[in-house]
Chain A
């Protein structure tokens, strides 16, 4: 059952991820990306990480992709406005990505399944996660807040409209 679900989710994930790339219309790309995020959230649940799954949906599907869609709709990007890319570039990109694929497939093929028993039961529960985050990994948690501070200062600084002389 779990295995079948895994294959189903993986199939959907790969398919929708491919459609993100192949769609001509950016809005479709975003919608496929949302589906990809949902399938990945499904994978998290299969891995017993419910908290991560829900947060993934809230943050990625529910917030970031809404902003993506927002910007794309606002700019009204269409097929016509897509800049023309030269064939050489496409060719180079395909070769690079293909090589990466070969490397990854090759390296994954050679490995035997790494079975690692997670130390605690219910590793994905909020409580377990909270204990790890606020005891063992408290310092990186704080560093993350600094990271957000830096991002916030930068965003506000760049986003704030410059006062021009005529409005003063």
Chain B
């Protein structure tokens, strides 16, 4: 029991640190990717290749003067970024980062908590994430912030529906809501027994899920809550110093978690092809699997950035039309098509 607890505590600390680290380096990556896509060099002063840039940025955020507007609602003004950060960090609990490790005769799963309805838990956390933005935007007592907050809530509510519908087919066919079980079911194809990733069976669902994940993270092309051209800074117009940093950081954490969820649900999670044919030790497979998982996550983070620097922002009515009139009917159709074809070709 004690070892179990120690293991879990270590795991929690690890996931926490890695999440923050990944988020920090995502900011660096974002600028590098932007530079790459725009044929520039990007940050290159702090350390070799600018590798210490996130540290410099963080230091700058902390050292900046902290301004809390006089007319704002102080408690809620501080609460906003806290909630944003907290909910962003909470979703990582459910993600299976790897298979099982056997140390000293005991088996540990590389997942902080295993829940019977893991996906729903992730959805719950995502759905309350919007409060950070709404509360912050309202408490600032600024028209632009309020508009940003209102846009954010409308957008997230709309896309949550499509998101929830998009995974119904997946859940129906895998027969479970547990993330670890969904991962385990996609365990690598061996010769003869072809076991594909879920994306092969649910291409449409996967596409809808990814689009909705973009919207939930407020990433371009869905970054209307903070679009600079119309709303100055959107919901965080009035924020400065580390509180602004928290908002920005939460966005990158959300991106990281979304990538992890996408990889777990549709791209095999920690599984990799031919994993059972290599004749490796289980512990070895798990370690490689974890590396593979992070590679997939890194790819999706790159994908997020790639999209950001390629596709322009939607107009608000286009955003709503896409959500309600295209994605939701498509998601419903996806449920029917996938389940029907499953029943036919079973």
| Chain B contacts for A33, CB-based, 8 A | none
- Please encode chain B, from 109 to 127, with 1 for each CB lying within 8 Å of some chain A CB and 0 for all others: 0000001110011011011
Q: CA separation between A66 and B138, bound complex, in Å? A: 13
What total of chain B residues lie within 8 Å of the partner, measured CB to CB? Answer: 25
Q: A29 within 8 Å of B by Cβ?
A: no
Q: A17 within 8 Å of B by Cβ?
A: no
Q: Is the CB of B124 within 8 A of A50?
A: no
Q: CA separation between A57 and B177, bound complex, in Å? A: 16
Q: Is the CB of B128 within 8 A of A50?
A: no
Q: Is the CB of B120 within 8 A of A55?
A: yes
Decide yes or no: A63 and B117 within 8 Å by CB, A34-B131, A57-B124 being known contacts. no
Contact of B127 among A58, A69, A74 (CB under 8 A): A58
Contact of A66 among B76, B120, B121, B130 (CB under 8 A): B130
Residue of B nearest to A70 (CB): B153
Contact of B160 among A61, A62, A70 (CB under 8 A): A62
Q: CA separation between A5 and B146, bound complex, in Å? A: 37
Q: Is the CB of B117 within 8 A of A66?
A: no
| Chain A contacts for B146, CB-based, 8 A | 73
Residue of A nearest to B122 (CB): A54
Most central of A51, A66, A67, A125 by chain B CB within 10 Å = A66
Decide yes or no: A57 and B128 within 8 Å by CB, A50-B117, A69-B134 being known contacts. yes
Q: CA separation between A162 and B131, bound complex, in Å? A: 33
Q: Is the CB of B115 within 8 A of A50?
A: yes
Q: Is the CB of A70 within 8 A of B150?
A: yes
Q: Is the CB of B150 within 8 A of A66?
A: no
List residues of B (86-126) whose CB comes within 8 Å of A's CBs. 115-117, 120-121, 123-124, 126
Decide yes or no: A66 and B157 within 8 Å by CB, A73-B134, A73-B149, A74-B150 being known contacts. yes
Q: A27 within 8 Å of B by Cβ?
A: yes
| Chain B contacts for A74, CB-based, 8 A | 150
Q: B213 within 8 Å of A by Cβ?
A: no
| Chain A contacts for B115, CB-based, 8 A | 50
Number of A-B contacts (CB under 8 A): 64
Q: Is the CB of B117 within 8 A of A54?
A: yes
Q: CA separation between A74 and B138, bound complex, in Å? A: 10
Q: A97 within 8 Å of B by Cβ?
A: no
Q: CA separation between A63 and B131, bound complex, in Å? A: 11
- Please encode chain B, from 139 to 156, with 1 for each CB lying within 8 Å of some chain A CB and 0 for all others: 000000010011001101
Contact of A126 among B116, B131, B150 (CB under 8 A): B116
Q: Is the CB of A73 within 8 A of B120?
A: no
Q: Is the CB of A27 within 8 A of B138?
A: yes
Q: B135 within 8 Å of A by Cβ?
A: yes
List residues of A (125-141) whose CB comes within 8 Å of B's CBs. 125-126
Give me 30 A-to-B residue pairs in the complex whose CB atoms sit less than 8 angstroms apart, sorted by A's number: A27-B138, A31-B135, A50-B115, A50-B116, A51-B117, A51-B120, A54-B117, A54-B123, A57-B124, A57-B127, A58-B123, A61-B127, A61-B128, A62-B123, A62-B127, A63-B127, A66-B127, A66-B156, A67-B157, A69-B131, A69-B134, A69-B153, A70-B134, A73-B134, A73-B138, A73-B149, A73-B150, A74-B150, A126-B116, A126-B177
- A55-B120, A62-B124, A62-B130 given; name 15 further pairs at CB < 8 Å: A31-B135, A51-B117, A57-B127, A58-B124, A61-B124, A62-B126, A63-B160, A66-B127, A66-B130, A66-B134, A66-B156, A69-B134, A70-B154, A73-B149, A125-B116
The 5 closest A-B pairs by CB, nearest first: A62-B127, A57-B124, A54-B120, A70-B153, A58-B124
Q: Which A residues contact B (CB, under 8 angstroms)?
A: 27, 31, 34, 50-51, 54-55, 57-58, 61-63, 66-67, 69-70, 73-74, 125-126
Q: Which B residues contact A (CB, under 8 angstroms)?
A: 76, 115-117, 120-121, 123-124, 126-128, 130-131, 134-135, 138, 146, 149-150, 153-154, 156-157, 160, 177
